[in-house]
Amino acid sequence: MSDRQRLFALTGLSLALRLLFLGSKSLWIDEGLAWGAARMGFSEMLRSVVTGTPHPPLAFILMKLSTGIFPGEFGLRFLMALAGASAVIPVFRLASRRSTVKGGFYAALLWALAPFAVSLGQEGWVYGINAALSLWFADAADLAWRGSSRAYAAAVLLGVSGILTQHVFVFSIAAGSILYFSVPGESRIPLKRFLLLPMGLAILYAPVFLFFSSQFMERSARMAGAGMGPGLDRLFSLQPPSQYLRLLAGGMLPEISLNLLERPRMLMAWAVNAITVISLGVFPFFRPGKPDTRFLWAALVLPLALFVNDGPGIRQLAVVWVPFSITSALFFSRYRYSGPAVCILCGLALIPYYRLDVFPYHRSNWREAVRTVETMARPGDGVVLIGGKSTALVWDFYSRTGMEYFAHNGNAPFAGDLEGGGASPAEYLDSLLSERENGRLWVVLDEWGIPDMSLITGENTLSLQENSGEDMQTGLVERAKGL
């Protein structure tokens, strides 16, 4: 089989797995924000996105174009799926160049099959396109460092596209730049020509960073208010290794916690996944030889610096796949049956992934929550939406009855993080109940982690409670008798 045939087969499989059941999972809260932006006109969308979110606009432009091709959840995610599927090509090329064709083939097959990569490619959000651009940039940069002028120009174009997609793309530029130092000295371009690319991209990124600086400050203040201020303690906690060890399975496996000890099957799955990730990621560093892998340590560790000022998930650390694709290819080249074995494990893990009605990273089933409320509500009932800023957008997407709703801090999705009302959910709910004749309000609560309904009941009685995914709840709250 030729390289072209291998790439054709890999790309076809990667695309099929991302298009499969693409519209089956419920929108989660940030996808609701993307849908809200996509239904605007282009000028209004660009103005709203750059002033009301911390994200550059390119991904939103792609999602708007995508909704013009297909409707609904499928349409919002379609171009994102194409981008995620296409990344199998640079993984194959980069990994084959750094190891063997056999190793590159199985590294690319791993990208096609891993639940982490499939989930990332099926989301209508910014991280999937960021991951795809990161891998394309790494492949182009690796060729550029070896003297290809066309690849150098492609790396510039991809770098600019990445900067206009996600701020964490600066780590992708760093990872691609680190590859320069692992190219044999006699084969790589002069240092001055190499430095022109990362320095030029840094200069281009500076005004983008400055433009969003106020939103970064708002986000830092919001995190500090939630007890999540910056500090090295987070970097040396369990969170960074917990994220990294889920690199294959992604959100299909929980983070490290004591609860795993109470779930033997999950603990076993966690152990198998962790051993696999460690083997594929660490093995080459203990077997020196060509290609030089010493500098890949930096590409592997550098993204973890995000934890100093943030609490990112593995989706933000997709750039780790740049060194991981190379190290896994070297592992597959060394051990004969390791490639098929690991890919079979990932293929089996896709079965429970496709059965989920929600994305494994955000187990909030808005589709089910809206259906539950609108099916069981009586005439005159209202609903209160509590959670992120785009709760009203997701409700509008799924609502079919025109039921009256109130969005706690969710009526201005493109306002700054610190803008909006200051009343607590309980206070907000109590004030609404006191104004209603029938004394009944449904509540949809979508918070990171497991929501606690007791936070919003206040002086009221909770007569019904339903789970709508692991990260959200719906319930009926009635005004307490005598009030």
Per-residue pLDDT tens over the stretch 353-395: 999 999 998 888 999 999 999 999 999 999 999 988 899 999 9
User: Is 90 exceeded by the pLDDT of residue 45?
Assistant: yes
- pLDDT-derived band at 420 (thresholds 50, 70, 90) equals very low
Tell me the per-residue pLDDT of 6-25, one tens digit each, with 9 for 90 and over. 999 999 999 999 999 999 99
Angle, CA 361 vertex, CA 339 and CA 74 arms, to 5°: 90
For residue 433 the two structure tokens come to: 């109940």
Tell me the per-residue pLDDT of 96-125, one tens digit each, with 9 for 90 and over. 999 999 999 999 999 999 999 999 999 999
Res 160: pLDDT: 98
The domain ranges of the chain are 3-355, 366-478
From 73-87, 166-180, 249-263, 449-463, the region with the lowest mean pLDDT: 449-463
- pLDDT-derived band at 223 (thresholds 50, 70, 90) equals low
Give the span between the Cα atoms of 52 and 34, in whole angstroms: 12
Give the span between the Cα atoms of 50 and 137, in whole angstroms: 24
